Structure 1
Amino acid sequence: MFENFLSTLDKTVKLQTIPVATKFIKESSQIEGIKIRLKNKKINICQQIAYSRYYGWSTYVEGNYSYCVLGASNCGLISTPERVIEGKVNCSIYQKDINAAKKMQECMPRVKERFTGFLTYPLTKPIENIITDVIVIYANTAQTMRFLQAFLYHEGGEFVMKSSGDAGVCSRCVVEAYLTNEPKIEIPCLGDRRFAMAQDFELAIGIPYKKLDKVIEGLLETHKAGIRYPIPFDMKEHCELPKEYTTLENDA
């Protein structure tokens, strides 16, 4: 499955960083005997993904090490603290008052289950006996357009994107994709940019593992229909140049 997906990505969208497999770990016994490059360091969910997509490292972090309280609570590694639920964490920063801040937190996707840890690894190095929950990809806007077209290939309609401007990849691309079993597109948040090297031109994409076959087919079929990346420009055969720059009949 992953080999097919990776070859499809190489053919159709040509990503700049490695696609990342993510997995909610219920019990630590699930990862016994697995060689993990970075384990239980005080890093954020978005940083775990960054280590996997930039360096090709596997990472595993449990709740007491997951450094960002939003990512840790969104992913069920800790209970959501009152300061988060009530909006105190983002009041006067992202919202002007406590009511607006609380309203934003009420809309934040969070898993209801409690998990022991969160695992990430590059899709190029699959881990035996681990079934991925969500695949996270970072892409530019043109590449994201190609994914969006793939998402709509089978059923059409429209793609609806939600964002809070905070906790981007953890809440939307991982958690919401996991909860809804539908692909998600999100704008990377401030923390992802400052601490996990998300670039100005990037959008984050979350694809549930169970939807991988449909995404592969959507990418390949729209590619076959002529929608290509990089987007070919329609260059004019006879462009308007100043006379001095134009090849004349008597030029030899």
Structure 2
Amino acid sequence: MFETFLKTLHKTVNPHTFPVATKFIKDYNILKNVKIRLKNKKLAVCQQIAYSRYYGWSTYVEGDYSYCVLGACNCGLIKPPKRVLEGEVNCSVYQKDLEAAKNMQTLMPRVDESFQGFLTYPLSKPLDGIEPDVIVIYVNTAQAMRFIQAFLYHRGGEFIIKSSGDAGVCSRCVVEAFKTKEPKIEIPCLGDRRFAMAQDFELAVGIPYVKIDEVIEGLEATHKAGIRYPIPFDLKEECSLPKNYTTQG
């Protein structure tokens, strides 16, 4: 399945960094015989994903080693502290007062259970015995369009994007995709850009692994129908050159 998905991605979307497999780990014992490049370094969730998508490294982080409090809370690695739940962490930064800040945190997607750790690795280097929960891919806006077309291939309608302007990839593309079992697209947050090398042109896509067959079919079918990436320009004859610049002048 990994090979089919990667082959389809390369043909239809061709992302510029590695697609990343992410996994919520209840018990580290399932990884005891798995070789992981980075373990329990003080990294944010978005930095773990960055190591996997840029360098092709696997990462595993537990509890307080997960350095960003929002990502650690969202992914169930720590119990959310009061300063997060009450909005103190984002008050006077993203919101003008505690009421607005608390409202943001109330709506922040978080898992409903605790996990021992969070695992990331490039999908092209699968780990024995490990099935991803969510696949994360960073794309440009044209590539995001191709994913939306694939997501809507079976059901039509519209694709709704939610954003808090903070905790982008961890809250939406990982946690919300994991909880709802539906694909998500999100704008990378400030931390992702400053500390995890997200670029100005990028959007993050989160695909639950249980939806991978549908996404493959959607990408393949819309590609076959003629919707291609890169988008081919409509180059016309007799463009509007000044007369003296043409061979007909």
- TM above 0.5: yes
Distance 2:143 2:245 in 1: 36
Match of 1:79 in 2: 79
Match of 2:102 in 1: 102
1:226 paired with 2:236, answer: no
Match of 1:185 in 2: 185
Match of 1:245 in 2: 245
Distance 1:242 1:92 in 2: 56
Matches within 5 A, 1:154-165: 154-165=154-165
CA displacement, residues 5-42 of structure 1 (integer Å, 9 cap, x when unaligned): 00001100111000000000001101111100011000
SS at match of 1:102: helix
How many residue pairs are counted as aligned between the two chains?
249
SS at match of 2:216: helix
Distance 2:152 2:117 in 1: 33
Residue identity opposite 1:102 in structure 2: K
Match of 1:91 in 2: 91
Residue identity opposite 2:59 in structure 1: T
Match of 2:31 in 1: 31
Residue identity opposite 2:128 in structure 1: E
Q: CA deviation at 1:241?
A: 1.0
State the identity %.
Answer: 76
Distance 2:53 2:220 in 1: 23
Larger Rg: 1
Residue identity opposite 2:168 in structure 1: G
Q: CA deviation at 1:128?
A: 0.9
Structure 2 runs not aligned, ≥5 long: none
1:51 paired with 2:51, answer: yes
SS at match of 1:64: helix
Q: CA deviation at 1:131?
A: 1.1
Distance 2:240 2:55 in 1: 47
SS at match of 2:65: coil
Distance 2:64 2:95 in 1: 28
Q: CA deviation at 1:243?
A: 1.4
Moved over 2 A (4+): none
Residue identity opposite 1:120 in structure 2: T
Match of 2:20 in 1: 20
CA displacement, residues 196-219 of structure 1 (integer Å, 9 cap, x when unaligned): 000000000000000000000000
Distance 1:190 1:15 in 2: 22
SS at match of 1:49: helix
Residue identity opposite 1:87 in structure 2: G
Residue identity opposite 2:87 in structure 1: G
CA displacement, residues 143-176 of structure 1 (integer Å, 9 cap, x when unaligned): 0000000000000010011100000000000000
Distance 2:248 2:146 in 1: 43
Residue identity opposite 1:43 in structure 2: L
Distance 1:53 1:8 in 2: 18
Residue identity opposite 2:25 in structure 1: I
Q: CA deviation at 1:248?
A: 2.3
